Structure formats: structure tokens, C-alpha cells
Structure 1
Amino acid sequence: MSYTRGFFAGTVTTLFAVGVYQYAQSPKSIQHQYDQQVSDDVKEQIKRRILKYGVPNRGEEAKVFTNHVLSYDQSKKIPIWVAECITKEHAQGNANRKYSKFMPDSQILSLFSADNQDYLGSGWSRGHMAPAGNNKHDQRAMDDTFYLSNIVPQDMDNNSGFWNRFEMYCRHLTKRFDSVQIFSGPLVLPTETDEKGQKLVVYPVIGKNEVAVPTHLYKIILVETNGTPSAIGCFIVPNQPIENKYSLTEFQVSLEEIQRRIGVEFFPKLDGTRLQSLCSVDSCTLTRRQG
């Protein structure tokens, strides 16, 4: 009896050891075998069983407006990215921002939304990501840019100064290129270091809804000629006053850098497409700030 028990235990131990060895030697092949054995239908059944009350929604599903599309960060109460495609016609017309009002976006649950009181007395301006000036062609399109889902807490001088000049530059590009596709948004990046030399991400929040104040802002600009993408420019700008002496090229980064920082892949259908640098085909020169 003891012999049988010992033989059985030894056999199980040996088989277990062999199994562990095989798994350690070829985990990828075992994983691939699992993927091949489980059909998409079965995976869907598993997902429905475990997530029977719905897939958690981070709010990244794109929300569509008259002339811009955005993905929203429900935790920070600011957009993740805001996309536009503008031509010179979009920047011309009689739409006037005096008729537009800042207000919460009805597509965003109030639980995840900022409101105007958050910005009141905060010391931060309501900074457009899709700017009103890109939508002079249509009052509704301009009004849409005033929903708070398109707004971030922005340094007042930056908003009226460098960033405003940057937006004007984007509109200027429509005079040279057929169309200009733009992604804009906020970033929270490491700006401090602790006593151990570890980088820290530190940013304030404003109002009762604790709207996140980004440390930086970004723009990705893709220009088209004859309906074909021809050049791209990517920029990360600190959310602080920037003097006239600084040029746009000083804030130029790669597309990969912005994607890594945000965790979003932009232009996935352009993978492998060879694009020139925007600043090599255009001067990337901003107009001087007046006053």
C-alpha cells in the first residue's frame, strides 16, 4: 500500500516537474496553442459571463461634433485628444464667438464633467483644444467648441499668447496646403524629482469637480497636398507663459514621443507612410505677439 502511494506520488511529482519544465521552455508556444484552441465565439461568451453588466467605459469612445471629434478623460474631466480637419474655408465666415457660451457637454455624465464654476476664480483660463477661430464658417460649429469637453485649464498668458499664435499658424497652413488635420490635447508629464532622483508627476486640480490642470499641451499637424499626406509636425508646449523669443521649432518632438506619452496611436492607417517634417517644408514661424 505504501509502495503504491509512493509510486503514485512520485509519478505525479515527475509529471508536474516535466510540465513546469516544458512551460518554462516554451511559454509562447503554449500560449499560442491556447489562442488556437479557443474560438472567438468562446472568448465572447467568457467576456459576456465575466462582464455581464457591461464593459467598463473609460470614455474613450469618440464623441462627434459639427467640425471636431474628441475622446474624453472622465477621470481628469478634460479631453484626451481633439481632432479637426480644416481648410481655408473653415476660417472664413461670419460666425462670432460673442454668441457662444461655455457649458457642460450633455454627452458627458455630470459625474464626470467639469462645469464653469470649476474655472471661476481658479486663476486658469478655459483653453480651447479645437479653437473657435477654426470655425468661422458656421456658428453651430463654433458653438460646439465651447463645450467643456473641448476645454482644459490653461495658463492665461499661454492661452492668449503663444498658444493663440500657434492656432493662427495652423490656419495659415490652410493657405498653402489642401487641408490640415490637427490633433490637440493636454499632457501631465514629470516636472519634479524627489530626493531619490525619481521623477514625479505633480499637477493641481481646480473646482469641486477636481478638473486636472495639464503640465503641457500638444499638437500634431498633418498636412495634405492633392489629397495625399505630405508632411507632419508634432509639438509639446509647457502650460505656462512663453516669451516671444521662443520659436515653435524648440518644442518639436517626434510622433512616437507623443504617442508614448499619451498611450494613443495616431494615424494607424498611415503606418509605414513616409512623411516629411513639417518644419522642413514650411518655416514653422509664428506671428509676433502684439503689445
Structure 2
Amino acid sequence: MNFNLSNGASRIIVSNAIYGVDQSSQWSLWSSVDDGLVWLKVANVNCTKHTLYKDTIYANISGKVRFEIRHSSLNTSRINIDDLYIEDFDTTASQDYHLTLGNPSNAQTDIAFPDNYLLAKDQYILSYNSSKGIPNWVGWHMSSAWHGSAPRKDAFKADATLPTSFIRIKPSDYTNSVFDRGHMCPSEDRDLTTTDNLQTFLMTNMIPQAPNCNQQTWRYLEQYCQTTAQNGKELYIYSGGIGSGGSGSKGLFTTIANGKVVVPQFLWKVIVVLPNGPYDLNRITADTKVIAVKVPNMNFVTGINWSQYRVSVDKIESLTGLNFLADVDDSIEDVLEAQVP
């Protein structure tokens, strides 16, 4: 290719086959972002079929780029390169599937599993624990495409989509409990429409949170995510609680609402940050930014410095039994989850 593509390239599809009666061979795709001065290998492809076959390569390169296909085998077998399709790299913010990176507990929408029951909303997806009256985890995608000007509704409400055999927590179950109704998916993450915002006030999205922690340190972490999303990034976020025994404004409690709602000892959040773009799962590398925090659910937690509570994703997994980033390539997942800030 002796010319540049101005809109980058996300996905490249190459129709190829072994030529005639030649033997299997290999070709490689190379890219250059400086008019062909320096070339970097994008992928190696084994060519093993005599009939045309479409190989898909995710280049995920933004801006100016050109490509080159090279024969990369030691043998002299010929290769038939036919159609070449290159898809632009679109950096427009989008609303994507909340569990693109995986379902941490393999939750199912099955009443036989009341303590790992999958609830899928348009705005977020969660695993509900009926025995604890709180979610095991809530997962959601965040980008500027979710942002708008809908006002905060503060309309806390029991979740009527839960099976009738499950414990349905009401807003009044938190009244006089000295704990906040703590959002997992924040109200401000879903303000594109009134409907979006209302969904964040369902009680299945709540965990009892120490007021100071919720209104200060935890809130600053939420604001960090929102600011990041407004600056050309998209985030995949999971959030939940660990253990039991948190302190509100009047001391330590393990449960509220006559034992129906467990008060976690810690709050946790796992955040994966990517530049806006398509095919998110294929764009995650060992250098992708991942943040994990484990914050004491205690009223002494105050201030702006949420980063002092950073841990590895592996640490959160060991404490919760959950499996994050399950759909990410294993070799990449292992690196990202082991990182300790």
C-alpha cells in the first residue's frame, strides 16, 4: 500500500488461500504511521487452505496509517491474496455491553439461584444475593455516550423485577439505619435520560455505606471515573462489597433491617480504562490501565485520596471468589490482575 488511510483501522479482513497446488505457508500484516519509514508487525497468519478463507485481524490503530502484506515463510509456496477489507477506527463514544469482559460469578436469571441471580438492566447488570439483600456485584459500561443533563431523581424504589420468592429490600429498610443507600452504579453515571437515572435508584443497586465514606472518598472515585469518561475514554466497571461489619454514624453493624440487609466490611471496585473505540475486548493489552480499590466501609474514611486504597484485582478476587476479566485473553488477564500499584 503506497498511500495512507486517514481514519485509521480497527478490523481488517483478508481473503487468502494457498495458490494452486503449493504447500501451506505464512504471511504477515505490517503497519506504518509515518508514510512507510518505519514498519511494525501487526499479525502473523498461517495460510493452510486451498479455497479462499477470510482471516480477521484487529489492528486498532487510530489516525493516519498504511499497511503492507509480506510473505513470511521460509518456503517458496505462493499465496493468493484476494479481497482486502479495512474498517475505519471509530473513536466516537458509544454505549456498549456491560459484561463485555465477563460475568464474574456466572450469574444466571434462574430462581434456583437466589444468591447469584442475574438482573440485566439496560443501564447496568448485577448479581443479586437474596440472603444478603444486596448485590454480589454490579457491572456497567461508562463513556460520554451515557452522559446527559437528566436531573438526579432520588426516587429510591424496591426492584419489582425480582422474583416474588426473593427478599425485596425497600427504601424504608435503610431508614434510621445510620447508613446511606449507597449506589454501586452511580446516579451521575446514568444521566442521559430520566429513565436511565431512575434505574440507578432501584434498591438492588444499593449497598449500606458509611456516610462519610460514601459522600467523600467513594464519591471522589466516582468523579474520577466520570471525568475520565468525559476525556475520550470508556470504562468497564464492577463494584460490590466484602464481608460484614461496617461502621455508620453510630458504631459498628453487621446487618440492618432486622437482619435482612448485610452491611459489608469493605467496598470494592474494579475499573478497566480504554480509549474510545470499537471491538473493546480485542483492544485490551498487558498495558491497559486497570484500577482496583478496597475501601473500608467505615465512617472514619474521609477525604479525596481514594488511591491509597488501591490493591490488585487478584486481591479482590481472592476475597470475593469472583473472576473478573474472564473473557480477556488469559495471558493478558493474568498480567493485568496481578499488578499492584
- Going from structure 1 to structure 2, the CA distance change for 1:209 and 1:243 (only over 3 Å counts) comes to closer
Asked whether the equivalents of residues 313 and 339 of structure 2 are also in contact (C-alpha less than 8 Å), the reply is no
C-alpha distance in 2 between matches for 1:148 and 1:207: 13
- Residue 216 in structure 1 maps to residue 254 in structure 2: no
C-alpha distance in 2 between matches for 1:255 and 1:141: 29
For residues 133-152 of structure 1, the aligned pairs below 5 Å read 133-152=188-207
- Going from structure 1 to structure 2, the CA distance change for 1:171 and 1:55 (only over 3 Å counts) comes to closer
C-alpha distance in 1 between matches for 2:245 and 2:202: 29
Aligned partner of 1:238 among 270, 293, 296 = 296
Asked whether the equivalents of residues 127 and 154 of structure 1 are also in contact (C-alpha less than 8 Å), the reply is yes
* Pairs aligned (count): 214
- Residue 205 in structure 1 maps to residue 260 in structure 2: no
Alignment TM-score, normalising by the size of structure 1 = 0.67
Aligned partner of 1:269 among 327, 332, 340 = 327
C-alpha distance in 2 between matches for 1:263 and 1:277: 15
Which sections of structure 1, spanning at least 5 residues, go unmatched?
1-53, 192-201, 281-291
TM-superposed CA distance for 1:277, in Å, is 9.2
Aligned partner of 1:166 among 216, 221, 226 = 221
C-alpha distance in 2 between matches for 1:120 and 1:265: 34
**Could you report, residue by residue, the CA deviation over 1:189-227 in whole angstroms, capped at 9, with x for unpaired residues?**
689xxxxxxxxxx95211145211111100100011344
- Going from structure 1 to structure 2, the CA distance change for 1:144 and 1:234 (only over 3 Å counts) comes to same
Residue identity in the other structure for 1:165:
Y
251-260 vs 126-135, greater mean Cα deviation: 251-260
- Going from structure 1 to structure 2, the CA distance change for 1:189 and 1:151 (only over 3 Å counts) comes to closer
User: Which one has the largest radius of gyration?
Assistant: 1
Q: What SS does the corresponding residue of 2:267 show, helix, strand or coil? A: strand
- What is the aligned-residue RMSD (CA, Å)? 2.6
Provide runs of 4+ in structure 1 moved above 6 Å: 276-280
Match for residue 15 of structure 1? none
For residues 56-205 of structure 1, the aligned pairs below 5 Å read 56-91=112-147, 93-98=148-153, 100-110=154-164, 111-188=166-243, 203-205=253-255
C-alpha distance in 1 between matches for 2:118 and 2:317: 17
- Going from structure 1 to structure 2, the CA distance change for 1:176 and 1:119 (only over 3 Å counts) comes to same
- Going from structure 1 to structure 2, the CA distance change for 1:81 and 1:55 (only over 3 Å counts) comes to closer
C-alpha distance in 1 between matches for 2:308 and 2:292: 11
- Going from structure 1 to structure 2, the CA distance change for 1:106 and 1:218 (only over 3 Å counts) comes to same
Residue identity in the other structure for 2:331:
G
C-alpha distance in 1 between matches for 2:226 and 2:340: 15
**Could you report, residue by residue, the CA deviation over 1:158-211 in whole angstroms, capped at 9, with x for unpaired residues?**
1111111110011111134431110011111689xxxxxxxxxx9521114521
Q: What SS does the corresponding residue of 1:62 show, helix, strand or coil? A: strand
- Going from structure 1 to structure 2, the CA distance change for 1:117 and 1:61 (only over 3 Å counts) comes to closer
C-alpha distance in 1 between matches for 2:337 and 2:265: 29
Alignment TM-score, normalising by the size of structure 2 = 0.58
Which sections of structure 2, spanning at least 5 residues, go unmatched?
1-109, 247-251
